[in-house]
Chains A and B, each alone.
Chain A
Amino acid sequence: QSALTQPRSVSGSPGQSVTISCTGTSSDIGAYNYVSWLQRHPNKAPRVVISDVYNRPSGVPDRFSGSKSGNTASLTISGLQAEDEADYYCCSFAGYHINWVFGAGTKLTVL
């Protein structure tokens, strides 16, 4: 299965907003509203910040928001904080044969 496409890196200053895109196909992101976003700090367990395209799990700040248009999902982080600096990965359901596909990750740098 093909991985989802993410930009390798994005950056922003504290207080700014950044958006990370995740492009798939009509067989994964375009077909299902089962897109999640993971945040991973170095040597830490990945943490889900967005599930099912838009939903924020309990404990995730409302600065994190998700959206989807066609075959592309997006994660927006507003009011950037230093602690947001991490790698972000997208994940989508891709049907009952392939099941789940992931992106290669985007490194967010807070300047």
Chain B
Amino acid sequence: QITLEESGPTLVKPTQTLTLTCTFSGFSLSTSIEGVGWIRQPPGKALEWLGHIYQNDDLRYSPSLKNRLTIAKDTSKNQVVLTMTNMDPVDTGTYFCAHHWGYFDLWGQGIEVTVSS
């Protein structure tokens, strides 16, 4: 059974860097077609794809956010880490990680992040 769980701070200040960790089980990023992605949802708005990483370290980032994002994996810990720099109140929302196998088929519950001073 595949599970994913997001963890990290729920409150960050403007200009700070957000670091979120996705800890997963039930798979090992051992298949080239398999990956882990990050998606967020600002309050009342659409889900927004941020990026994802594959087993072979192939990385994809949202063009609008690529200058602020870093996604990395730690295979030994079954974790994928999202780093987003220069946080702003508009970055407030729920952040999800999801297993990607052709599409985002299994999701974590999400973590609510508020950006406020």
Contacts and interface: CB of A to CB of B under 8 A. Distances in A.
Contacts of A101: 49
Interface string B12-47: 000000000000000000000000010100001111
B48 interface: yes
A43 B63 CA distance: 29
B19 to A, nearest CB: 21
Interface centre among B46, B96, B102, B104 (most CB of A within 10 A): B46
Contacts of A45: 4, 96, 106-110
B53 to A, nearest CB: 12
A47 B107 CA distance: 7
Contact of B60 (A43, A52, A99, A105): A99
B109 A103 contact: no
B62 A99 contact: yes
Nearest to A57: B105
Contacts of B110: 45
Given A104-B45, A105-B46, A91 B63 contact: no
B50 to A, nearest CB: 10
A49 to B, nearest CB: 11
Nearest to A92: B103
Interface string A74-94: 000000000000000101010
Interface residues of B, number: 25
Contacts of B106: 45, 48
Contacts of A46: 96, 98, 107
Given A44-B109, A46-B96, A97-B63, A4 B46 contact: yes
Nearest to A6: B46
B49 A102 contact: yes
Contacts of A51: 102-103, 105
Closest 10 CB pairs of A and B: A3-B46, A102-B47, A104-B46, A100-B49, A46-B107, A45-B109, A45-B107, A36-B103, A102-B46, A51-B103
Given A38-B107, A91-B47, A99-B52, 4 more contacts: A36-B103, A45-B106, A46-B96, A48-B104
23 contacts: A4-B46, A34-B102, A36-B103, A44-B109, A45-B4, A45-B96, A45-B106, A45-B108, A45-B109, A47-B107, A48-B105, A48-B106, A51-B102, A51-B103, A52-B103, A57-B105, A96-B60, A98-B63, A99-B60, A100-B37, A101-B49, A102-B49, A105-B46
